Amino acid sequence: MNQEETILAPGIGWTLLIAFGIMWVGLGLYWGRKSKSLDGFMLAGRNVGIAFGSATAMATWVTSNTIMVVPQFGLKMGVWGLLAFTTASFGLFLFAPMAARIRNLMPRGFTSGDFIRLRYGKVAWSVFLGISLFYSMAWLVSMAMAGGIVLEALAGINYKYGMSMILLVCVLYTLVGGLYAVIGTDFIQSVIILIGIIAVAVAALSRMDLGDAYETSVQTQPALFNALLPVALLSLFNNMFFGFGEVFHNNVWWSRAFAIRKKVVSKAFSLAGLLWLPIPLAVGFSALFSNSLGINITDIDMTGPLIAGELLGSTGAVVLFVVIFCSLGSSIDSLLAATSDLLAEDVYKKMINPSVSDEQLRKISTLIIVGLGLVTWLICLPRVGNLMSVLFFAGPFVGSAVWPVVTGLYWRRSNEVGAVLSMVCGSAIGLYAYFEYGWYTASLIATIVSMVITFGTIALSKTRFDWSVLNEEKL
């Protein structure tokens, strides 16, 4: 297939983009009527039910990277590559009990930064904020880039215009509706994403004989079906720890833990993990058979769109377009909201202006959302690197935050020195591994280094943390 051709006419692409854009902003306005208070705007009133709660956790985790990078994994690392991606759901499963504990320990908490500040003090808090903000920006950038790339690949919409349009829509509806709009649209986006994935998968199956395709691919690309592929096995553990780091530290999930009703918060995250688990295989299996299907992929970023377009023509391209737009929206909106919370609550309120009123803080939040959108847009204007490199560069940083968060939630002896050293040394050594050995080792090594330091300092610690310190309401 010639990659200079587009699968959809640009007019159809623009029509879909504008129609869905209007719908999301309209829904944002509708749900935004509920977000009158700061609690409403930042945490959707702290009373979200299980349906919306599990959908928002799942949809946020189904990023455009899931849809775009998973086929790349299938193409490069075969079956193990797809299985490696499914391990990202383990982060949601493990966060389920943690979310319940967070709600118990911090009934009036706002952000993950609040937890680190109260639990470990200001030095650890600063390091953590640096990691969290860097990661959130890397995630935002990788998704906005993915949006621009896929719109260009599918519909010939200029990269800069497509990327700008996606960011604009997400900023607008997050701005007008806060977390109510984010969670409400996430539910609709979840349903569309899941139905779209099933439609593409079923249509792909109806166009090829899986048994024959397997036989052909095993002959031409046996490495993809190698059950003992060392790089892929390494990437499985790397992905798993990357997933733990992303979920455990990022305010996107902490804000859900604070927003979902206490009684169902644990169930909601477990269910989200279960909903997410099969998605990489359902999305990426066609990539295993691209060679036997005669699809020539010269640009790795376009693996998913090219396969869908080749197998299913313009209908598949429309479905994929909508699924990717929904997955972009569900993640970008969450990141904008959660990162602006982090900047408003942790940086502005706690560092700059502690006497700020709730009303003023809400205004600051909206300004931050606009600012985040602008910064992301500026970074994305020049298209840099492929999606994998942008995504996995952040891996060592988040991997190093796993143990300070986990031990901080459950272990009185966990302490500030251990938290700071584990995040700094874990990130540094993980980055060294990223450049020296490859992206597929970086998170794994960062997490292991962080674990050794955290447990070492716990063993030597005389700290016995008082859990009531985490409840700011009582202080």
CA distance 284 to 328: 18
H or E segment to which residue 244 belongs: helix 230-249
The one among 44, 338, 401, 419 contacting another protein by CB under 8 A? 44
Could you say whether residue 219 binds another protein (CB under 8 A)? no
Binding mask 286-305 for another protein (x = CB under 8 A): --x-----------------
The one among 201, 425, 428, 458 contacting another protein by CB under 8 A? 201
CB 180 within 8 A of CB 31: yes
Nearer to another protein, 120 or 187 (CB): 187
Can you point out the beta strands (E) in 12-117? none
Min CB(225)–another protein separation in Å: 5
| Interface size with another protein, residues (CB under 8 A) | 48
Min CB(255)–another protein separation in Å: 15
Min CB(71)–another protein separation in Å: 14
Instruction: Check the CA dihedral 241-242-243-249 and report its sign.
Output: positive
Min CB(291)–another protein separation in Å: 15
Min CB(369)–another protein separation in Å: 21
CA distance 52 to 29: 18
Which listed range, 63-71, 115-123, 164-172, 271-279, lies at the site for another protein (CB under 8 A)? Answer: 271-279
Could you say whether residue 279 binds another protein (CB under 8 A)? yes
Q: How many CB atoms are closer than 10 A to CB 431? A: 18
Nearer to another protein, 59 or 155 (CB): 59
The one among 1, 23, 29, 281 contacting another protein by CB under 8 A? 281
Tokens 């302490």 found at: 415
CA distance 174 to 140: 14
- The tokens of 50 are what? 């299980």
The one among 216, 226, 461, 463 contacting another protein by CB under 8 A? 226
Could you say whether residue 54 binds another protein (CB under 8 A)? yes
Report the alpha-carbon angle 291-295-300, nearest 5.
90
Nearer to another protein, 70 or 247 (CB): 70
Min CB(249)–another protein separation in Å: 26
Min CB(70)–another protein separation in Å: 11
The one among 271, 295, 391, 448 contacting another protein by CB under 8 A? 271
- Residues in the chain, overall count: 475
The one among 12, 23, 282, 370 contacting another protein by CB under 8 A? 282
| DSSP class of 443 | H
CA distance 388 to 380: 15
CA distance 224 to 40: 48
Could you say whether residue 269 binds another protein (CB under 8 A)? no
Binding mask 137-176 for another protein (x = CB under 8 A): ----------------------------------------
CA distance 241 to 87: 9
Which listed range, 103-111, 276-284, 394-402, 434-442, lies at the site for another protein (CB under 8 A)? Answer: 276-284
CA distance 430 to 445: 5
CA distance 405 to 105: 13
Nearer to another protein, 287 or 394 (CB): 287
Which listed range, 14-22, 48-56, 292-300, 422-430, lies at the site for another protein (CB under 8 A)? Answer: 48-56
Helix 159-207, helix 303-341: angle, nearest 10: 130
Could you say whether residue 274 binds another protein (CB under 8 A)? yes
Could you say whether residue 34 binds another protein (CB under 8 A)? yes
Min CB(405)–another protein separation in Å: 28
38-41 LR contacts (CB < 8 Å, sep 24+): 38/358, 38/359, 38/361, 38/362, 40/178, 40/179, 40/180, 41/178, 41/179, 41/180, 41/362, 41/365
CB 31 within 8 A of CB 48: no
The one among 15, 19, 26, 47 contacting another protein by CB under 8 A? 47
The one among 11, 26, 222, 371 contacting another protein by CB under 8 A? 222
| Nearest CA among 5, 297, 295, 323 for reference residue 154 | 5
The one among 1, 23, 29, 50 contacting another protein by CB under 8 A? 50
Min CB(194)–another protein separation in Å: 4
- The tokens of 368 are what? 């931050």
Nearer to another protein, 55 or 145 (CB): 55
CB 254 within 8 A of CB 41: no
3-class DSSP state of 411: coil
Binding site for another protein (CB under 8 A): 34, 44-45, 47-52, 54-55, 58, 79, 83, 180, 187, 190-191, 194-195, 197-198, 201-202, 205, 210-211, 214-215, 218, 222-223, 225-228, 261, 271, 274-275, 277-282, 285, 288
